[in-house]
Amino acid sequence: MATAQLRTIQPTDYPTWRQVRRELALSDYDRQIVEEVTASIDAKGLQQPLCLGVDADGGVYLTDGHHRAIALMNLRVRHFHFQW
């Protein structure tokens, strides 16, 4: 899937991706994870796909991989792997 489409995917537990970024930036632990995942994806590519789901209205949402999603956005990776 194209990474540009990631912005149309609803993050779980947060209303927007901007809020995800804000919340992850507040925690030293989460910032560290994003930095480590970003470095790993930059060096080796995405090793674990993002997990997506579909709601009753047909909207796509992220069920697992918020740190990875932010790392992909930061790196401007063109495409990413996912699973349902």
Residue 83, pLDDT > 80, answer yes
| pLDDT of 46 higher than 90 | yes
Residues 9-23: what's their mean pLDDT? 93
pLDDT digit string, tens, across residues 52-78: 999 999 999 999 999 999 999 999 988
d(CA 29, CA 55): 30
What does the domain layout of the chain look like in residue ranges? 3-83
Are 67 and 75 in contact, with CB atoms under 8 Å apart?
no
| Residues 17 and 7: beta-carbon distance below 8 Å | yes
What is the architecture of the domain spanning 3-83? Alpha-Beta Complex (3.90)
Tell me the β-bridge partners of 10: 61
